[in-house]
Amino acid sequence: MVSFGVVMGDITRFPAEAIVNAANRYLEHGGGVAYAIAKAAAGDVREYIRISKEAMHEQLGKDSIEHGEVVVTPALGLERYGIKYVIHAVGPYCGGRWDEDKKEKLRKAILGALRKAEELGVKTIAFPAISAGIYGCPLEGVVRTFQETVEEFSQEAKSLEKVYLVLYSERDYDRARAVLENGD
Ligand code: ADP
């Protein structure tokens, strides 16, 4: 059984064996949580972009990723927190809108990362609120989709035990808790 929980914190210091990056298709890590992870992992963001693009070539044989595809890079400096892998996944761009198509794209991104974590044999994984920042998807829809997708994934999970959704601000954390508690 996989447990799902929301926590408040900085994902670049969160002690999960794998953390997920809310990446863009080209793994450019230009802003938001992607920039923060790249900076914390490699010190130099451009160096982590180089490592990520090289990993994308090796693992997928192409220059961009789709929703549901993932790329794994080493945690480098994040290892001091017990993090072993960074799994890059791409969520939908919403620009304030939310519909079944966005939800399905986010579901695919989450499932792709969960399956990769399983393949890597990790017990714990932490996600940021993918798409709820620069990509403009409503946090409530994002949190609900996380909850449903982890529940769906529970059926096939073997090594994975804990999935954390890490919210960066107290306000987002409170909103996420309200979604899980009130079902709205
Ligand atoms: P996207 O482009 O997928 O929307 P963003 O990086 O803009 O990705 O934001 C995704 C979420 O990650 C936002 O809710 C943002 O507040 C959050 N975030 C930003 N930095 C961190 C961090 N260091 N740890 C955890 N969450 C973070």
If one counts every other C-beta atom within 10 angstroms of the C-beta of residue 39, the result is 15
168 lines ligand 1 (CB under 6 A): yes
Task: Tell me the best of 168, 171, 179 to mutate to test the pocket of ligand 1, counting ligand atoms within 8 Å of each CB and taking the most.
Answer: 168
Per residue of the chain (184 residues), what is the pLDDT tens digit?
Answer: 899 999 999 999 999 999 999 999 999 999 999 999 999 999 999 999 999 999 999 999 999 999 999 999 999 999 999 999 999 999 999 999 999 999 999 999 999 999 999 999 999 999 999 999 999 999 999 999 999 999 999 999 999 999 999 999 999 999 999 999 986 5
- Ligand 1 atom showing the smallest separation from residue 169 Cα: 16
**CA-based torsion, 30, 143, 153, 106: positive or negative:** negative
**DSSP letters for the chain:** --EEEEEES-GGG---SEEEEE--TT----SHHHHHHHHHHHSSHHHHHHHHHHHHHHHHSSS---TT-EEEEE-GGGGGGT--EEEEE-----TT---HHHHHHHHHHHHHHHHHHHHHT-SEEEEE-TTSSTT---HHHHHHHHHHHHHHHHTT-SS--EEEEEESSHHHHHHHHHHHHH--
Is the ipTM here above 0.95? yes
Using a 6 Å cutoff on CB, does residue 20 contact ligand 1? no
24 CA: nearest ligand 1 atom: 2
pLDDT value, residue 114: 98
- Decide whether any atom of ligand 1 lies within 6 Å of the 33 Cβ: yes
Distance 152 CA to ligand 1 centre (A): 24
Q: Is the CB of 145 under 6 A from ligand 1?
A: no
CA 90 / ligand 1 centre spacing (Å): 12
Q: Which residue's C-alpha comes closest to atom 18 of ligand 1? A: 33
**Given this model, what pLDDT does residue 62 score?**
97
Name the region of 6 (left: φ>0; alpha: ψ -120 to 50; beta: rest): beta
What pLDDT is attached to residue 68?
98
The pLDDT of residue 183 = 67
Contacts 24+ apart (CB under 8 A), 101-108: 102/131, 102/137, 102/141, 103/141, 103/145, 105/67, 106/67, 106/130, 106/131, 106/137, 106/142, 106/145, 106/149, 107/145, 107/148, 107/149, 108/67, 108/68
